[in-house]
Amino acid sequence: MLKRTMSLMLVLILAMTSVVGVASASTTTKETVINLSDTAVTVDGQKASTSSSAAVYTGASIVYYEDGHDSSYGEGTDSDAHSVEEAAKHTVVTITKPGVYRVSGKLSKGQLAIDLGEDAASDPTAVVTLILDGADITSTVAPAVIFYNVYEPYTNTEDTKGIVELSQAGAQVILADGSVNTINGSYVARIYKEGTTKKLHKYDGAFYSKMSMNISGEAKGTGELHITAANEGLDSELHLALNGGKIYIEAQDDGINTNEDGISVTSINGGYLHVNAGLGAEGDGIDSNGYLTINGGTIVTMANDRSPDGGIDADKDITINGGTVLALGTRNDATSSTSKQPFMELSFATTQAKGSIISLKDLAGNELLSHTSEKNFQSVTFSSADLKLNTEYQLYINGVQQQYTGNSFGMMGGGFGGNRPTGDNGQGTPPTGERPTTGEKPEGGFNPNGQNTTDTTVSGEGSTAFKITEAIHSFSGISEAINNSGKTKVTFTVNEGAGIQSVASGKSVVLNGVTASADVPESDIQLTVTDVPSENYSETYLLSELKDDFSKIMPEEDGQYRLTIAVASSNETYTGVSQWQFAIGMLPFTDVKSNDASYNAIKTLYEKGIMIGTSSNQFSPNSPVTRATAITTLGRLLNIEQAQSNAFNDVVKNSWYSGYVGWAVENGLVIGDGKGNFMPNANLTAEQMKAVISRYVELNGLKIAVDELFPNTLTGTMTRADLASLLSKLL
């Protein structure tokens, strides 16, 4: 296997190839040649017209956010506003007719605008193709390039599920082979229609289109587009496709943004894209308010390293079907499992410094990734055609091997997975004793107040084997491999060892203290909270910055979250990571989906403390139920008084389930095998559970139609989901 890296030289070589299927360089229509100049703009060698009826004219007023207005004018602040004098220095070159326009030359203060009229959106012939061939445009008050009105092949209510074809879109841009094009642009804050708060103008990007836009390269794919943005870089109000050429974006806010909520698609099909975004207070590398679909090309994208932003961010699915992708940020949005190309999501326990060298190798030493970071990062998403499923990889930062403590299935290590609560469970002494030999885990305790108190503490052992499968592609708590670091291992506890407790909706998660197993300076202890999977929430602080005010870092909205506490990688003496997963107002289990038939039943029993999980974030709904688990869960639901019994030889006295078995024996609910054995670890069948419920109903004179509890489809070994669905009917 040939060595493949993400070094800049190889990236440029890869980017030499553009894709087909676009309205690209093979234009046969007659071109109109526009030469930009601060002294005289020419069109086909003649001075540009000043008449708005011409196909190309100069002299239109630039749209900008004017200073000197109160809040009735718009949403802008003083920093968004510009003077009349500054705006008047800009030359606006406006294209008003369909056609192919080759643009070169320089406007040091100006704008290239395309406006084919309000009826253009529904006219398939209203297509303008800009061939950028050495264009250099700077605007300090508005976008340097803007498509106002051209043909729009899609509606803003049509959900395409992330798939668009824009070769017929009205906004076509081609990067001429061998050209270098420079766009330095500003933006226009929201301006109201007079007398209302409705939008009249709002253009956030330096290179902007109100309609879907298609950007391609010519045959060789060597044309370059460099965008420097005072706000966002490359924007479309609906869809955007990048197909070829080389695009470099530096933006104060988002590098790329497509902004129709839940609808927009950013589609990357070829070429080379390099985004350094969030150079201001915030900003994602690529931000789609709908879908992000990557089918090809080479993408390196970076976000703000001080705010909770990602190299890739989308409100709907992020799908990677091809190409080479490297996204860095504080947190990247999760990539969809429906992606056709393998991908790896890496969440580091602490911030990695600018200049860090990221390397990913297979066990034969072949290097798939070698990248020197241009800014700080804590999250990396990587995808490549060379990345294979069921293959072990090793990760290095600056030559130091890394390990992880959590993956897509949750966090590693630690006892019962942190499921059994501490303290009195409202029914006497909490169960203690041995685990069943089959590995069946106790279901946790019962809280009479109905509040689940699952402790999700996990300070697991790390693994250096980064292996992606169909189910596992995300790795968290990444830090230096302890065995190779030469440093002393440190673990952390929170809330005086009580861990983090999941809470109901509207309640606050309690975090009031962090304790390290060694004397690590607070300035070297980093706390990070992210949602799981990563979508909306990420907060990171040093312990010294929090000053015991942990509310700064803890979320309030319903969701699943992970707290990671780690020693900063810059500490030369200590290393270590501890993680906790918790939930607010929802199930913490990644294997139970809201559209599952058993979801509501599981949620009900979980919230009442009757059933919890097999680990901190797994419910194992399809796993069989043992006889011990079934009797214990039924006893919890009925809030029975536990009793010890010597009726069975194979029931471990004072174990987590023995008191419930004793209750069942006293009430004639269980018989055993007739040889003095209860068989606690044997799987329970629906028929056996029906017999238990029937005996309970009969002995207590209850009016319950047992047959209605057991549908004809419920036969054979019961699963945990089956048990939850059954018992929820008894509440």
pLDDT tens sequence across 467-519: 999 989 999 999 999 877 789 999 999 999 989 988 888 899 999 999 999 99
Total number of residues shown for the chain: 731
Q: What is the DSSP-derived secondary structure letter of residue 534? A: S
* CA 380 to chain CA centroid, nearest Å: 11
Query: Cα separations (Å) of 510 from 188, 498, 499, 607?
Result: 43, 10, 9, 17
* Residue carrying the six token digits 């229509």: 29
Give pLDDT tens digits for 609-622.
Answer: 888 888 777 899 99
Whether residue 455 is predicted with pLDDT greater than 80 in this model: the reply is no
Q: How many whole angstroms separate alpha carbon 661 and alpha carbon 641?
A: 11
Q: How many whole angstroms separate alpha carbon 170 and alpha carbon 126?
A: 6
Tokens of 6: 């993400």
Contact 342, 320 (CB under 8 A): no
* CA 353 to chain CA centroid, nearest Å: 22
The helix (H) or strand (E) run that includes residue 319 is strand 318-320
Range picked from 263-267, 586-590, 599-603 for highest mean pLDDT: 263-267
Tokens of 160: 């395409």
Tokens of 155: 């509606």
Q: What is the model's pLDDT at position 28?
A: 57
Q: How many whole angstroms separate alpha carbon 23 and alpha carbon 151?
A: 14
Secondary structure in 3-state letters for 612-656: CCCCCCCCCCCCECEHHHHHHHHHHHHCCCCCCCCCCCCCCCCCC
Contact 461, 390 (CB under 8 A): no
* CA 529 to chain CA centroid, nearest Å: 14
**Residue 211 is which amino acid?**
M
Tokens of 27: 């234009």
Q: What is the model's pLDDT at position 450?
A: 34
The residues with which 273 forms a beta bridge, in sequence order, are: 247, 299
Q: What is the model's pLDDT at position 258?
A: 98
The mean pLDDT value of the chain amounts to 87
CB crowding 87-117: b at 16 or more within 10 Å, else e: beebbbbbbbebbbbbbbbebbbbbbbbbbe
CA torsion sign for 641, 644, 646, 650 is positive
Q: What is the model's pLDDT at position 593?
A: 82
Tokens of 614: 């097999």
Q: How many whole angstroms separate alpha carbon 259 and alpha carbon 239?
A: 8
* CA 308 to chain CA centroid, nearest Å: 11
Q: How many angstroms separate the first and last alpha carbons of the chain?
A: 60
Q: How many whole angstroms separate alpha carbon 127 and alpha carbon 134?
A: 22
Q: How many whole angstroms separate alpha carbon 384 and alpha carbon 321?
A: 10
Confidence of residue 45 (pLDDT cuts 50, 70, 90): very high
Contact 28, 391 (CB under 8 A): no
Give pLDDT tens digits for 292-344.
Answer: 999 999 999 999 999 989 999 999 999 999 999 999 999 999 999 899 999 99
604 closest CA partner among 730, 705, 455, 707: 730
Other C-beta atoms within 10 Å of 695: how many?
17
Give pLDDT tens digits for 90-121.
Answer: 999 999 999 999 999 999 999 999 999 999 99
Helix/strand/coil for 550: helix
541 CB burial (10 A radius; 0-12, 13-18, 19+): middle
Q: How many whole angstroms separate alpha carbon 294 and alpha carbon 291?
A: 10
Q: How many whole angstroms separate alpha carbon 513 and alpha carbon 549?
A: 9
Helix/strand/coil for 609: coil
The helix (H) or strand (E) run that includes residue 698 is helix 686-699
Q: What contacts 109, CB < 8 A, 6 or more positions away? A: 38, 89, 90, 91, 138, 139, 140
Give pLDDT tens digits for 669-680.
Answer: 888 888 999 999
454 CB burial (10 A radius; 0-12, 13-18, 19+): buried
Q: How many whole angstroms separate alpha carbon 174 and alpha carbon 185?
A: 19
**Residue 179 is which amino acid?**
S
Helices (H), 45-191: 84-88
CB crowding 333-348: b at 16 or more within 10 Å, else e: bbbbeebebbbbbbbb
Q: How many whole angstroms separate alpha carbon 29 and alpha carbon 6?
A: 39
CB crowding 455-487: b at 16 or more within 10 Å, else e: bbbbbbebbbebbbeeeebbbbbbbbbbeebeb
Whether residue 430 is predicted with pLDDT greater than 60 in this model: the reply is no
Contact 724, 602 (CB under 8 A): yes
**Residue 38 is which amino acid?**
D
Q: What contacts 454, CB < 8 A, 6 or more positions away? A: 418, 419, 421, 444, 501, 502, 588, 612, 613, 616
Q: How many whole angstroms separate alpha carbon 392 and alpha carbon 517?
A: 32
Tokens of 320: 């990677």
Q: How many whole angstroms separate alpha carbon 188 and alpha carbon 67?
A: 12
Whether residue 9 is predicted with pLDDT greater than 60 in this model: the reply is no
Q: What is the model's pLDDT at position 701?
A: 81
Mean pLDDT over residues 705-720, rounded?
Answer: 88
506 closest CA partner among 589, 449, 586: 586
The helix (H) or strand (E) run that includes residue 723 is helix 720-728
Higher pLDDT, 163 or 427: 163
Give pLDDT tens digits for 646-661.
Answer: 999 999 999 999 999 9
Range picked from 80-84, 486-490, 721-725 for highest mean pLDDT: 80-84
The residues with which 550 forms a beta bridge, in sequence order, are: none
DSSP string, 336-403: PTT-SS-EEEEEEEEEEPTTPEEEEEETT--EEEEEE-SS-EEEEEEE-TT--TT-EEEEEETTEEEE
Helix/strand/coil for 721: helix
Contact 377, 330 (CB under 8 A): yes
Contact 212, 154 (CB under 8 A): yes
The residues with which 285 forms a beta bridge, in sequence order, are: none
Q: What is the model's pLDDT at position 452?
A: 40
